[in-house]
Every structure is written in structure tokens, then in C-alpha cells.
């Protein structure tokens, strides 16, 4: 399916975040999609019909009793390439999970045979209520992509999970779903690490690396679009949070290790895309090291824990629910394949994505090229292209290894 010129149904329900969906609508129309907005009755209390009609260029209805000769309660769903409900209220999730058909949106959800994406937004209590959890689980079991809400400021002064993710990030998920990648990670929990660790020298200085987090974020974004529950362990990344990923922010290799090992216990796959420092200063100064010192003291380094090897060892030792698939990344500057093959064997991972780094290669660029080595000795070449394409190849290889 092409990424433009599709028929998209944008369902909007009565959450306070409905105003953000005007922006989502614009992203679809400006990319050449034909959008039919189907609001619920109560959604129109927040943003009125003229806004949706003017921005979409299409008629807007909430009930099945309008334009009955066109049988909209069936036709709109049948002709859609994608239905996205954003924001999805607790109420609309419940109605959809129970197959209700008491307005045009729920009728459309029952007649649609295309991919369906829900972007829930509500107060944390509503999101965490067992009724909502069960409804979300039901919708996911049936193949819908339900994007985890973001955490942050909610209506009023309270904060927590329940925010509608950034419209641009919801759009990215929809774009990937439209590109035909929906569903094959549904019901899976995957952990992705991204970015580059920082090892403190003193309160203001650190040893870091050039990783931007773009590849790890692409892995998280594509996994969400394929239906996975995603934990993204993010080290010092200045990018917008991918919609639907549970964010865990870390700074150092030690913190990254703790976060990854904790999340990995319940995961089907772990993809270690972060650039983790091999060494850290033995001592960190509690105060800023002054310039005035005659000669600076040398910085002595000690080895950081090898997280990838530890994941493999824990699994080999029979670590209960430890992930079935472990994927490492190797950034090499020379003897790329030989070094990669040796690393794969040393670490005991299932797949190793090897990329050559250097000027304009891998770090901070939107494109990447790599070879994926498998534990069985295969190598899969991924030609230069967007980091999301590389991410999709990695997930294809992961999916093959999942039961």
C-alpha cells in the first residue's frame, strides 16, 4: 500500500485532547490522504463540526441517521484503508471492545476490515482501571494497534500516563501501519535501548559518544506500528518521544544496564541499539575540577559491565522468562564483518546488526546501511536507506525467531 492517497477515517472521541487531532488531520491531508472525520456526539462539544469539515474537505456526521441513502454506517468502514481513533476515550475503547454500534464511529469500527489504530488519552486512573486494561487487551488481541499514552501533564494540575502523544508521532505510527507493517508484533513486549551513555567525570563533564538515538527511536516507532508493547530505554537523546513507547530515561551505562535488565525479564525481544560506553572514570569528582590546577590529574578508566553479554549469559543460565531474542548492534570502523562475527559469538546474541561508522555513516544521519549476522551463520545485507527500513528488517528477523 502506498503511503499517500489512502482513504483514512479519523475517529475523534470526547477527550480534552481532541484539539490536537486537528493537527493530526492536517498531517494526513497535507500528505495527500483523503480523510473522513467521524466524531462522537460528545467530541463535538470540544471541537465543532465546521472545523472538521473545513480541515478535511469532507462531510462530517456522528449518527447513522444522516445521509442514510449512502448507507454510511457500512460504507465508511468498508472503504477505509486505515481507521485511527485519536483521542480514544475510555468510553470509546469500551464500546469498541464490546462490539457496540450505537453511533457512526462504532459502526465504522465494526465494518472496517483495514488496520485500526487507537490512540487513547485519559486520566491515569481511567487508563489504569482494570476495565480499561481489559478493553485494551481485547482490542489488541483482535489485531488493533493501541498506542500507549504518553506520560506528563494531564487536564488540571495532575501528571501521569494518559496524555495523547504528539500528533506527528501518532502520524508516524499510522504511516508505518499504512505501509503494510501492522500487527505481527501484537501481544509481544520488546525492549529497545537507544542513544549514547554519558560517564561523569565531574558534575559538568562527561565521556560520551556520537550516538543520536535515531536508529533506536526508529526501532521503537516501527515496533509500536507493528503492534508491540515497547519499552524504550533512552540515553541522552534529544528527539521527540515515539508515540506509544514506554520511556525510561537513563544517563550512564550503569543506569542503562539496570533499566534494560529489569525490562528484559518480561520481554520477548531486546534490541540493544544504544552506544554504551565500554569504560567509565574510576573516580568522579563531586565538585567541578578547577582549571587552576597546575597539571590536570589523569583520568583513570575502569571497564563498564557488558550488558549484551550479561543478557546472553542470564538466558543461557536458564533465566526464567528471559527474552527469546537478543539483538546487538556493533559499530565498527574497520574489518567490519570479521569483528562483527567475533562479537556475535562472544556475546551469545541471536542477531547482530553491524554497521560501519565514519564520516556521514551511521551516527546522526537519517540513513543507515548494515549487515545483520545471525547465530546460524547467515548474513542479511541491508542497503543504504531510511533507519526505519533497517528497523523493519530487524523486526522481520526477530518475528521469525518468535514462537
Ligand X SMILES: Cc1cc2nc3c(=O)[nH]c(=O)nc-3n(C[C@H](O)[C@H](O)[C@H](O)COP(=O)(O)O)c2cc1C
Q: What residues are labeled active site? A: 209
Burial (CB < 10 A; 0-12, 13-18, 19+), residue 183, is middle
Q: Is the dihedral of CA 297, 298, 299, 302 positive or negative?
A: negative
Residue of 61, 90, 116, 228 interacting with ligand X (CB under 6 A): 90
Q: Known binder of ligand: residue 147? A: no
- Which cell is 174 given? 499510522
Smallest separation, CB 177 to ligand X (Å): 22
Q: Known binder of ligand: residue 20? A: no
- Measured from the CB atom, the residue of 126 and 247 that comes closer to ligand X is 126
Residue 42 sits in the site that holds ligand X (CB under 6 A): yes
HSE-CB of 223 using CA atoms within 13 angstroms: 33
Residue 121 sits in the site that holds ligand X (CB under 6 A): yes
Place of cell 462490539: 99
User: Of 10-18, 201-209, 281-289, 339-347, which segment contacts ligand X by CB under 6 A?
Assistant: 10-18
Residue of 37, 76, 92, 248 interacting with ligand X (CB under 6 A): 92
Q: Which residues contact 238 (CB under 8 A, 6 or more apart)?
A: 212, 213
- Kindly determine how many residues on this chain lie close enough to bind ligand X according to the rule CB under 6 A: 16
Q: How far is CA 245 from CA 60, 228, 299, in A?
A: 32, 9, 37
151-210 residues near ligand X, rule: CB under 6 A: 155
User: Of 11-19, 177-185, 211-219, 348-356, which segment contacts ligand X by CB under 6 A?
Assistant: 11-19
Question: In angstroms, rounded to a whole number, what is the distance separating the alpha carbons of residues 220 and 392?
Answer: 10
Smallest separation, CB 49 to ligand X (Å): 14
Q: Known binder of ligand: residue 343? A: yes
Q: If phi over 0 gives left and psi between -120 and 50 gives alpha, with beta otherwise, what is residue 231?
A: beta
Q: Is the dihedral of CA 91, 141, 319, 223 positive or negative?
A: negative
Smallest separation, CB 342 to ligand X (Å): 52
332-371 residues near ligand X, rule: CB under 6 A: none
Residue 122 sits in the site that holds ligand X (CB under 6 A): yes
Of the candidates 235, 197, 195, the residue with the CA atom closest to the CA atom of residue 215: 195
- Which cell is 202 given? 565531574
Question: In angstroms, rounded to a whole number, what is the distance separating the alpha carbons of residues 44 and 386?
Answer: 39
Which H helix or E strand runs over 136?
helix 130-141
Residue 43 sits in the site that holds ligand X (CB under 6 A): yes
12-41 residues near ligand X, rule: CB under 6 A: 13-17, 40
123-142 residues near ligand X, rule: CB under 6 A: 126
Smallest separation, CB 119 to ligand X (Å): 11
Q: Known binder of ligand: residue 278? A: yes
Residue 11 sits in the site that holds ligand X (CB under 6 A): no
Residue 89 sits in the site that holds ligand X (CB under 6 A): yes
Q: Known binder of ligand: residue 303? A: no
Geometric angle at alpha carbon 278, from 277 and 282, rounded to 5°: 95
Q: Which residues are annotated as a binding site?
A: 278, 288, 305-308, 329, 343, 347
- The annotated binding site for CTP is made up of 278, 288, 305-308, 329, 343, 347
Q: Which chain residues interact with ligand X by CB under 6 A?
A: 13-17, 40, 42-43, 89-92, 121-122, 126, 155
Amino acid at each position: 500500500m502506498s503511503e499517500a492517497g489512502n482513504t483514512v477515517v479519523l475517529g475523534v472521541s470526547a477527550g480534552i485532547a481532541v484539539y490536537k487531532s486537528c493537527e493530526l488531520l492536517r498531517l494526513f491531508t497535507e500528505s495527500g490522504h483523503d480523510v473522513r472525520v467521524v466524531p462522537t456526539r460528545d467530541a463535538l462539544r470540544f471541537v465543532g463540526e465546521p472545523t472538521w469539515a473545513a480541515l478535511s474537505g469532507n462531510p462530517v456526521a456522528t449518527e447513522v441517521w444522516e445521509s442514510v441513502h449512502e448507507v454510511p454506517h457500512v460504507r465508511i468502514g468498508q472503504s477505509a484503508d486505515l481507521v485511527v481513533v485519536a483521542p480514544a476515550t475510555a468510553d470509546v475503547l469500551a464500546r469498541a471492545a464490546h462490539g457496540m454500534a450505537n453511533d457512526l464511529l462504532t459502526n465504522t469500527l465494526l465494518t472496517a476490515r483495514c488496520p485500526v489504530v487507537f490512540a487513547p488519552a485519559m486520566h491515569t486512573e481511567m487508563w489504569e482501571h482494570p476495565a480499561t486494561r481489559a478493553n485494551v487487551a481485547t482490542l489488541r488481541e483482535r489485531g488493533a494497534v493501541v498506542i500507549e499514552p504518553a506520560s506528563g501533564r494531564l487536564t488540571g494540575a495532575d501528571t501521569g500516563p494518559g496524555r495523547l502523544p504528539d500528533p506527528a508521532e501518532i502520524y508516524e505510527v499510522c504511516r508505518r501501519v499504512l505501509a503494510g507493517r501492522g500487527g505481527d508484533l501484537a501481544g509481544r513486549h520488546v525492549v529497545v535501548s537507544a542513544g549514547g551513555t554519558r560517564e561523569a567525570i565531574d558534575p559538568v563533564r562527561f565521556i560520551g559518544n556520537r550516538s543520536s538515538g535515531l536508529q533506536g527511536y526508529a526501532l521503537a516507532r516501527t515496533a509500536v506500528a507493528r503492534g508491540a508493547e515497547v519499552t524504550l530505554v533512552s540515553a541522552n537523546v534529544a528527539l521527540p518521544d515515539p508515540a506509544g513507547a514506554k520511556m525510561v530515561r537513563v544517563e550512564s551505562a550503569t543506569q542503562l544496564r539496570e533499566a534494560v535488565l529489569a525490562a528484559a525479564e518480561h520481554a520477548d525481544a531486546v534490541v540493544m541499539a544504544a552506544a554504551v560506553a565500554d569504560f567509565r572514570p574510576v573516580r568522579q569528582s563531586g565538585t567541578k575540577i578547577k582549571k587552576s590546577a597546575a597539571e590536570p590529574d589523569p583520568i583513570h578508566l575502569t571497564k563498564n559491565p557488558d550488558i549484551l553479554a550479561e543478557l546472553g549469559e542470564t538466558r543461557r543460565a536458564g533465566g526464567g522468562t528471559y527474552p527469546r531474542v537478543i539483538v546487538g548492534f556493533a559499530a565498527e570502523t574497520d574489518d567490519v564483518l570479521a569483528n562483527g562475527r567475533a562479537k556475535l559469538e562472544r556475546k551469545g546474541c541471536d542477531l547482530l546488526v553491524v554497521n560501519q561508522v565514519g564520516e556521514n555513516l551511521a551516527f546522526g544521519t537519517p540513513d543507515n546501511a548494515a549487515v545483520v549476522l545471525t547465530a546460524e551463520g547467515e548474513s542479511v545485507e541491508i542497503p543504504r536507506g531510511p533507519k526505519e527500513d533497517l528497523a523493519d528488517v530487524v523486526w522481520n528477523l526477530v518475528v521469525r525467531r518468535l514462537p
